[in-house]
Amino acid sequence: MALSDIDQVLAIEQRSFPTPWSKKAFISEITDNIFASYIVVEKGDKIVGYGGMWVFLDEAHITNIAVAPENRRTGIGEFILKQLIATAVAGGAKRMTLEVRASNHAAQRLYEKMGFERKGLRKGYYTDLREDAIIMWKDDLVQEDASGRASSGH
C-alpha cells in the first residue's frame, strides 16, 4: 500500500465497517509504524481489496482485511490472507492472530478454512455497536509455495 492508494482504500473501508479507520490512521500505519505491513489488490487501475498486519518478534497480528462489496466471494479475501501469511513468515512470524466481529460469519469461515482457531472472546470489543470480538489464532504459521505444498515458517 502506498500513500497514493489511501483514498481508494478509504472508500472500501467506509463501505465495509461501521467505524472505519481515518485517513490519518492509514497514513500513520504506512509511514510511521515499523511493525506494519499493508497490501492492496488491484483489478485494472482500481483497488478492490486490502489487508494489513503488524509483525513483531515471532507473532503477526492482522489489523484489517476488506474487499469492495461488489468483489466479495471471488477469492480476493483469501488471496490477501495468503499474502499476509507469506509476508509474516518471511518476517519471522510463527503465529498469527486477529479479532473478528461475532456477526462476521463470512470472515470467520475464511479464517477457519485457512487454519485459524477460535481461542477467546473480547466482550464489547467493537465499541460502535458493543459487539463482541472472536479472537482467532493460527499457531503453526506456514505458507504454501507455488505448487500448493505447505512449507514451515521456521
Q: What is the CATH number of the domain that holds 26?
A: 3.40.630.30
- Please give the residue range of the domain that contains residue 43: 3-152
pLDDT at 143: 54
Q: Can you tell me the distance from the alpha carbon of 40 to that of 48, in angstroms, rounded to the nearest whole number?
A: 8
CB-based contacts of 75, cutoff 8 Å, min separation 6: none
Domain count of the fold of the chain: 1
Distance CA 83, CA 95 (A): 15
> Structure pTM?
0.89
Q: Report whether 97 contacts 137 (CB < 8 A).
A: yes
Q: What is the mean pLDDT of each run of 10 residues along the chain (154 residues)?
A: 98 95 97 97 97 96 97 96 96 96 95 96 90 95 53 45
What pLDDT is attached to residue 79? 97
Which residues are annotated as catalytic?
99, 111
